[in-house]
Amino acid sequence: MQEVKFEITEVSPLDLFGVNNAKLKWIKRYFPGLKLVARGNNLIANGEEELLSNFEVKLKQLILHIKKYGDLTESNIDNVMLEDATEVLSGDGSEILVHGNGGTKIKARTFNQRKLVEAVNTRDMVFAVGPAGTGKTYTAVACAVRALKNKQVRRIILTRPAVEAGENLGFLPGDMKEKLDPYMMPLYDALRDMIPPEKLLNFMELGVIEIAPLAFMRGRTLDKAFVILDEAQNATVNQMKMFLTRMGMTASFVITGDVSQIDLPKKQQSGLTYALDRLKDIEEIRVVRLNKNDVIRHRLVKKIIDAFEKEDKNEKLNDK
């Protein structure tokens, strides 16, 4: 057994240890063989030499994360602990994407979100797949707004399949836009965080930013645009083929979805699962998979995802 004292000087001990050492307790879960004690600016670790060496590497990564992003959440700790050190410490995708309303710095906040940004930077077509709350859509919209502000594209096109609406929109009040707007609300919400209201309204009136249901993409060529297909798991195979073949010469396509939340009829295959299977060997297409460690909503969301995943596994076992 050895004892090592780490002096915390580059960041605030409170940012690293948390209130009442809550973050330190979370860190301890990954090193059950070590005894960790926080005393002022010092962290004292007791244990085997190899464990202490591994802990020192991860501690440096946690400190670097705080220095880069000014915060350290339980999800951040999970990412650092579970990913390879060289990948976590790489700078890919970690830059500020846009300055949102009120000067908010919008950037990728987790390892896989940074992978998504890096993929968008290097590929014209990217699939981002993962459960609710992992920031798939929000990160993609931020990349789109950045591209527009940098004049890399002339417009942003955001689309979703309006599966819930089906063929029964007629009973809803208002014109077609008013009928469909509720299904597009998550996209509006993301844009409102990043673009001042007056400017956003002007962009939409001029067609610089377009939000439309997937069916409205048929017959078009989407060029010089950043195009996001959201909730892609609810696109049919034919809709997915139609959408992917709309890609113009200088377009960026991001397709986001959650294969665990398919609302299509049971006998109808999801266009997202079909595309992921058929396109997996095309080098120019990148697939980024996000998971519960990327959840940045309330901590309960991660536990809810865990519970649903366990139930899904049990159902599959019972079906066999």
What pLDDT is stored for residue 90 in this prediction?
Answer: 44
What pLDDT is stored for residue 75 in this prediction?
Answer: 76
Two tokens at 165? 């609406």
Class of domain 2-88: alpha beta
What pLDDT is stored for residue 179 in this prediction?
Answer: 62
Tokens 């060529």 -> residue: 221
| Residue boundaries of the structural domains of the chain | 2-88, 96-319
**What are the backbone angles phi and psi of residue 218, rounded to the nearest 5°?**
-60, 135
What pLDDT is stored for residue 297 in this prediction?
Answer: 65
CATH topology of domain 96-319: Rossmann fold (3.40.50)
Task: Give the C-alpha distances (Å, rounded to integers) separating 75 from 137, 198, 232.
Answer: 18, 35, 25
What pLDDT is stored for residue 213 in this prediction?
Answer: 87
* Longest CA span, the chain: 73
Query: Which stretches of the chain drop beneath a pLDDT of 50?
Result: 85-92, 165-169
Predicted model pTM: 0.69
Angle at alpha carbon of residue 290, lines to 19 and 318, rounded to 5°: 105
Task: Give the C-alpha distances (Å, rounded to integers) separating 143 from 129, 133, 163, 210, 227.
Answer: 16, 17, 26, 16, 11
Contact, 184 vs 133, CB < 8 A? no
What pLDDT is stored for residue 174 in this prediction?
Answer: 59
What pLDDT is stored for residue 298 in this prediction?
Answer: 67
CA 232 to chain centroid: 14
Rounded to an integer, what distance in angstroms lies between the CA atom of residue 16 and that of residue 300?
22
What pLDDT is stored for residue 199 in this prediction?
Answer: 94
